[in-house]
Structure 1
Amino acid sequence: MNYPAIDTELLRTFVAIADYGGFTRAAEVVNRTQSAVSMQMKRLEEDVLQRSVFERDGRQVRLTAEGQILLGYARRILKLHGEVMNTLREPHMVGSVRIGTPDDYVMRFLPGILSRFAQAYPLVQVEVHCESSAQLLQRQDLDLSIVTRMPGHEIGELLRQEHFVWAEAVGFNPHEQTPLPLAMFNSDCFCRAWACNALDAMGREYRVAYTSPSLSALMAVVSAGLAVTAQLQSLITPDLRILGEAEGLPQLPLSNIMLLRNERHQSPVTDTLAEHIIEGFRA
């Protein structure tokens, strides 16, 4: 059986009406007159679907049961349509890009960023290198690098500013031990140096009891109640509690998360991924 084709512009207008609750606001979003929007929906209901997708009550509109079903399909169709157009209309968005980042940002920020980028540009291969900020600053082969810097020592483009905090597992008190047991990244990590310098300045005894280049390994140790750690506040999970001066720990500095671009490796691919990274960190 042959069915009439559904124009993506009809679906785009339909989704706008569903999202904004009426024809007037949807008309502004899709840049059409209200009468044009009404004609589109009349065509969708009478000529294409031959059933109602809206219940009208004055100026208010609600989706019918069929409209609710169509909305899910419409979003998927428009998403696929966008992916196709991005791929075919931007043939330069083919290739590879190498980015470097500390392990902690991989867990917190990169999954969403890379997922959105892959959906928009499926032909681009992304190679991720996880190293400390100090190591990344020495590399010349990466297209983009995400690094941590103290205020006043910024280089590159600011992505996000975060508080650096102490934390331990809820229900445990390793902060009461002397010397204070720490779970920290390896010795070339800026964050470890900041934490140790702050403890030295206040004369607090400590020992680096656990080290790892992996954030998940450090968090496993801390969650078991074996040590205190110092990390970005956004990385503190619900099973941990933040510590401060009340627990005899010094205040830690703010940290700036910076994006570095390798000027020798600039391309539309790296520039586009950089924009995705900026949007993801600032969201």
Structure 2
Amino acid sequence: MTTYPSIDSELLRTFVAIADEGGYTKAGEVVNRTQSAVSMQMKRLEEDVVRRPLFLKDGRTISFTAEGQVLLGYARRILKLHSEVFNTLREPHMVGTVKIGTPDDYVMRFLPGILQRFAQAYPLVQVEVHCESSSQLLQRQDLDLSIVTREPGKEIGQILRQERFVWAVGAGFCPQEQTPMPLAMFNTDCFCRQWAINALQASGREFRVAYTSASLSAIMAVVSAGLAVTAQLQSLITSDLEVLGEQHGLPQLPSASIVLLRNPNNPSPITECLADHIAEGFRL
């Protein structure tokens, strides 16, 4: 059986702190060590443990080598698992139910990985998932956490990610040959639908809303079949669809924010743990 040297979690903790804080001094404040102690730790990590250069130093700026970038990804995962082990074994009170609301948009793209990792860490917690539009979720008072899409300048809560809306079509569909161009969009309470319509009207492009649904899966099925064009956040576009742009005669669309809302009337450790998993999941 092949054996490998172990990596002290404290070395990884300091390594990640350097990445997050941008230098040895501030990292030392985070891990409660002097700058010289941090420097010694990193020398040990480079020379005795991984035996690879991890840092590129240009004056006061610290960046990472290719090996350092690889280690940083693993270090974050190792430290998170380390934390989850202790949370699971030392906090038996982590049982109960947490209610999360999300538009259908994010269920298939983000939730499976998030809920899988959360279940591994907290197997006794029951998660209720409620799928509704962002506007409906903003009206609810009974949810512990809500993931909603917000327009620029109207963000509330914790921003999970920001990205642009894009046009997408199925293979073989040529929007230039369709007049008026058929659209597949969410129902009328979706502001991104109005964005798409406003952009097309401003560009003088003829169109018609041919298909509507509250379900992203239904919209994508229509688009994949080559029946219409849609406008969705870029991360939601599946590999079987083609992203179109101005070179195809379609106007550029704005960006939107995906935000996480907490219920201030019902804070709990369970809710915060799931919120952390959600934030990480949307960064991936």
Superposed pair shares fold, TM > 0.5? yes
Distance (whole Å) between structure 1 residues aligned to residue 275 and residue 82 of structure 2: 24
Is the 1:87–1:123 contact (alpha carbons within 8 Å) kept by the matching residues of 2? no
Aligned to 2:257: 256
Equivalent residue runs for 1:30-179 within 5 Å: 86-179=87-180
Q: Return 5+ residue gaps in structure 2 as ranges.
A: 12-47, 50-80
Shift of 1:151: 1.7
The offset of 1:124, in angstroms, is 0.7
Identity %, equivalent residues = 74
Query: Could you say which structure has the larger radius of gyration?
Result: 1
Partner deviation per Cα, 1:178-200 (whole Å, 9 max, x = no partner): 11101111111122121112112
C-alpha distance after superposition, 1:140-185 (max 9, x if no partner): 1111111111221111111011111001012221453111101111
Q: CA deviation at 1:272?
A: 0.7
Residue type of the partner of 2:275? Answer: A
1:35 is matched with none
Superposition deviation, residue 214 in structure 1: 1.3
Give the match's secondary structure for 2:214: coil
Match of 2:232 in 1: 231
CA distance in 2, matches of 1:143, 1:30: 34
In the superposition, relative to structure 1, how do residues 83 and 202 fare at CA in structure 2: closer, same or farther (>3 Å)? closer
**How many matched pairs?**
219
Q: For the residues of structure 2 that align with 1:97 and 1:206, how far apart are their CA atoms? A: 43
**What TM-score do you get using the length of structure 2 for normalisation?**
0.71
Aligned-partner SS, 1:263: coil
Alpha-carbon shift at residue 204 of structure 1 (Å): 2.0
- Tell me the equivalent position of 2:272: 271
- Conserved 8 A contact 1:158-1:256: yes
Q: Give structure 1 stretches of 5+ with no counterpart.
A: 1-13, 32-58, 61-79
For the residues of structure 2 that align with 1:227 and 1:175, how far apart are their CA atoms?
12
Q: CA RMSD in A?
A: 2.7
Change (3 A) 1:94 1:29: closer
* 2:194 aligned partner: 193
Compute the displacement of 1:89 (Å).
1.9
TM-score (normalised: structure 1): 0.71
Q: Which moved more, 1:204-213 or 1:160-169?
A: 204-213
One-letter code aligned to 1:268: P
Change (3 A) 1:136 1:82: closer
Distance 1:83 1:161 in 2: 28
